[in-house]
Amino acid sequence: MASPAWLKDLSRSFKRSRGGRGGWFLQLHHDRLRVVSAELPPRPDEPAAASPKARAVTLQTSAAPDKTSEALAEAMAIFDAVMAGSWRWPDPEDCLPAGDERRLRPQELNKVVLRLEKALLGETVGTSTWQRTYLPYYRQLIAQAANRHWLIDQELLEATLRQWAPNSRSRQMAFNRYRQLWKEAGWPWPESLATLRGNGKAVAPAEGVRAFRDEEIAELRARISASYRLGAADLVAWDCLAVFGLRPAELKGLQLLQEKGHPVAVVSHAKRNSRGSTGQRRVPAVPPAGWPADCHQLVKRFQSHGLPDCVVEHRSPGEVLSKQLKRLRERKAIASELSPELTSYGLRHAFALRLGLDLGLHVRESAALMGHSPAVHLQTYGRRLEMPRLEARVRELVNRPAA
């Protein structure tokens, strides 16, 4: 595989910085950068070799185009130290044991973060996932550790966790990340912190998920049509989310068919997690009330304009759509306001409610169309699907004439 352009530029800069001295190389290995040279000294546990042997040391700096300056500085620090005879191989187990009062210092915590990064990156998570969903929480912990000298794990962790709202998804993520870090370090986790994690249900709205109403979908379409920054392909993307109940990422590889005058989506993007993955599925269009059967000639528009490249080629289509929705919400109202609570997933929620409340589909049938399990479907939409029936049943029993 050819090296990326940024790595070639970095290698040239590395060569210039060391005065053209040969025998030193920068390589990309399993999503990590490493320095390779036969001038690196033998490892402590390595038997003496009869001839010079090329060795590699992995950099702590992430392998990314925006990290080339840091990577060059780290590589040159290794080169200079080797030339001076002062460089030593890092000890991968260089982690202070539980009970050492120095281990909660920022520099010691950072060592454990780097160990965890080395263990996960390329094997369990990718570079982007590490930078977006791991590193920000560890930076927050290290910043809190720098405020004063902490001696007790629970005090440092509790002070850091309380920076996020109780029962929020952010606090749950932080809790899980810190527990994983403590496991990597071999330190005992304070079980008394369990109540700080929460489960998110305490702050869930009583009415359930916030879905787009039909009039809000009409307002959204009007704003897209009036936008000078968005075009016909963007409207196609948003209409696909609305009538097929797609996840934003499922716009990648999407195909539309016209069957008996009704659009049908063929979803090929697989959603993977620890519980498995979803395969290809077919989803018939279920448009909002008042829409024509062809969903405003959706298939014809899809064939003419396609989907916007900025969405389907992005690592996270949902991120692009969220930015679009934020700009659309700030536009002067055409018919009504768009609530700040609405997200691109609100169109998927609206689709689920149309399946259950308008069409009366069984939970199992609705879940199959949406690409998840009946248990997840009930957990997500149970309040909205079951409460109207429960209330109607109670009214029927209350109003029943006495025997």
pLDDT digits 0-9 by tens, 93-118 = 556 777 677 889 898 899 899 889 88
Mean pLDDT of the region 72-100 = 79
- Weakest-pLDDT range from 81-95, 244-258, 335-349, 360-374: 81-95
Phi-psi map region of 260: left, alpha, beta (phi>0 left; psi -120 to 50 alpha): left
Each residue's pLDDT tens digit, 203-223: 456 567 889 999 999 999 999
DSSP per-residue codes, 282-298: EEE--PPTT--TTTTTH
pLDDT at 258 > cutoff 60: yes
Counted residue by residue, the chain has a size of 403
pLDDT above 70 coverage of the chain, percent: 92
Task: Judge whether 179 and 191 are in contact, CB under 8 Å.
Answer: no
Residue 90 structure tokens: 């890092």
Mean pLDDT of the region 302-318 = 92
User: Cβ atoms within 10 A of the Cβ of 356, count?
Assistant: 22
Mean pLDDT of the region 176-198 = 89
Residue 351 structure tokens: 């689709």
Give CATH for domain 230-393: 1.10.443
Burial per residue of 142-172, b for 16 or more beta-carbon CB atoms within 10 angstroms, e otherwise: bebbeeeebeebeebbeebbeebeebeeebb
Range 311-317 contact pairs with CB under 8 angstroms and sequence separation of 24 or more = 311/234, 311/237, 311/248, 311/251, 312/251, 312/252, 315/128, 316/248, 316/249, 317/248, 317/249, 317/251, 317/252
- The CA–CA distances, whole Å, from 352 to 238, 241, 349 equal 16, 12, 5
Instruction: Give the whole-angstrom CA distance, residue 344 versus residue 41.
Output: 55
* Helix, strand, coil percentages for the chain (3-state, nearest 5): 50, 10, 40
More confident residue, 291 or 65: 291
What local confidence, expressed as pLDDT, does residue 100 receive? 72
The residue whose two tokens read 């040391």 is: 57
More confident residue, 110 or 399: 110
pLDDT at 353 > cutoff 60: yes
More confident residue, 60 or 363: 363
Residue 81 structure tokens: 């130290």
The DSSP code for 355 is I
Mean pLDDT of the region 22-33 = 85
Query: What is the chain's mean pLDDT, rounded?
Result: 86
Pairing of strands 32-37, 281-284: unpaired
pTM for the full predicted model: 0.59
pLDDT at 359 > cutoff 60: yes
Each residue's pLDDT tens digit, 264-295: 999 998 765 444 556 789 999 999 999 999 99
Helix (H, G, I), strand (E, B) or coil at 299: helix
**CA R_g for the chain:** 28
